[in-house]
Amino acid sequence: MDETPMRARAVVDLAAVRANVRALRAAAPRAELMAVVKADGYGHGMVPCARAARQAGATWLGTATPEEALALRAAGDTGRVLCWLWTPGGPWRQAIEADVDVSVSAPWALREAVAAARASGRTARVQLKADTGLGRGGSQPADWPVLVAAARAAEAEGAIRVTGLWSHFACADEPGHPSIAAQLAAFRDMTAHARAHGLRPEVCHMANSPATLTLPDAHFDLVRTGVALYGVSPSPLLGLPGDFGLRPAMTLTASLAMVKRVPGGHGVSYGHHYVTPGETTLALVPVGYGDGVPRHASGTGPVMVAGKWRTVAGRVAMDQFVVDLGGDRAAEGDEAVLFGPGDRGEPTAEDWARAAGTIAYEIVTRVGTRVPRVYVGEQPGTGI
């Protein structure tokens, strides 16, 4: 008996996640695959998606925060895990004792990793991050020689082992953007410098989903795929998920909470930004920005009700929004599909991104904790 509340649900197809991992491995056949499962697996559920990715051959998992990496260990994952978003005083010792690879972009972080390794009597696995042009995390080229020398000295002492050298693209989703070649050249220079000064990394890596799908020169030893694992296209410029053999894993639905006739000229939702053009039927969809439905999609978001695409009528509120069914019929309890793979004619996360002026990454990741995730396509097995 499925006791998931009826109001709304996000069905996550783990068979699709496994198939997407296999498609991405085929796209980067000489590289290992890191499944990026940060931000609760882009809203899909970190542990179930990590398990599915491992089953389909992901040899690494990637998270932003150390807390996320430690949660993977707590769930029983024993494979390689990298986390990269550190702040001073972070849980270095717990991460090192849990055998997590930690990323370091600056001398302060290296000092904290070395101190934690000494305190725990273990050798920390450290990956050095290079800023090859993104201008976010990572060591600037000018600061790299100092970081490399300090890491080599810490290796000589036995406190750390440098397991990886890595970087991240700014514009991999814009094919032909001149920054792509510039970042690749900078990465080659910076990794060559590190090798010339004694570092022997197991893996060099740069590619996110768009680079995995479109830039074979960027695959190196490992590709770090996030959004594509979940079957979401990194950018409409590159194509739809199906163009890459990917299948969207999440379907977000809600049960209609009310259906009623209203006269023409009736204002709908806060601010009355929609006014019924004539007598009509309104349906109440019981999800709102408290569930991650973007308020920016007021008046534009697509939703399939009674077999047709409708548009959010007026404002998205915290818990609900309204659609105008015109002359069509529906009943309380009927399904409203906000987005899914698209093969039943429903909108996709990409359609919501366009309607809300954002990217599909944000649409799936922001689905709130009030929406239960329901897993289908699970493959029983060992591991996490």
Known catalytic residues are 38, 270
Cα separation, 168 vs 155, in Å, equals 24
Angle, in degrees to the nearest 10, between helices 144-157 and 107-120:
10
Which residue, 8 or 186, has its beta carbon nearer to ligand PLP?
Answer: 186
- Closer residue to ligand PLP, CB minimum distance, 125 or 224: 224
Nearer to ligand PLP, 115 or 171 (CB): 171
Which C-beta is closer to ligand PLP: that of 36 or that of 325? 36
364 is a contact residue toward ligand PLP (CB under 6 A): no
Of these, 51, 80, 93, 224, which contacts ligand PLP (CB under 6 A)? 224
Closest approach, Cβ 261 to ligand PLP, in A, equals: 45
Chain residue whose CB lies nearest ligand PLP: 226
| 235 makes contact with ligand PLP (CB under 6 A) | no
Q: How far apart are the C-alpha atoms of 148 and 154, rounded to whole Å?
A: 10
Q: Which is closer to ligand PLP, CB of 84 or CB of 86?
A: 84
**359 belongs to the binding site for ligand PLP (CB under 6 A):** no
Q: Does 353 bind ligand PLP (CB under 6 A)?
A: no
Give the three-class secondary structure for 212: helix
Q: Residue 268, exposed/middle/buried by CB under 10 A (0-12, 13-18, 19+)? A: buried
x/- map, 130-169, ligand PLP, by CB under 6 A: --------------------------------------x-
CB 183 within 8 A of CB 199: no
Beta-carbon neighbour count of residue 296 at 10 Å?
A: 15
Stretch that binds ligand PLP, among 141-149, 154-162, 221-229, 299-307 (CB under 6 A): 221-229
Which x/- pattern over 21-50 shows residues binding ligand PLP (rule: CB under 6 A)? ---------------x-x------------
**What secondary structure letter does DSSP report for 240?**
-
- Out of 209, 214, 233, 276, the only residue in the binding site for ligand PLP (CB under 6 A) is 209
| Residue type for position 195 | R
The answer to whether 37 and 63 have CB atoms below 8 angstroms apart is yes
DSSP secondary structure code for residue 290 in this structure: G
Task: Please select the residue that binds ligand PLP; options are 226, 248, 292, 314, rule is CB under 6 A.
Answer: 226
Q: What are phi and psi of 80, to 5 degrees?
A: -75, 135
Query: In angstroms, what CA-CA distances link 212 with 37, 65, 234, 329?
Result: 16, 23, 11, 45
Under 8 Å between Cβ of 235 and 210: yes
Distance between start and end Cα atoms, the chain: 25
Residue (225 or 280) nearer to ligand PLP, CB: 225
Options 15-23, 226-234, 282-290, 301-309: segment touching ligand PLP (CB under 6 A) = 226-234
SS3 at position 64: coil
Q: Is 231 in the site for ligand PLP (CB under 6 A)?
A: no
Question: Which positions touch ligand PLP (CB under 6 A)?
Answer: 36, 38, 64, 84, 168, 208-209, 224-228, 234
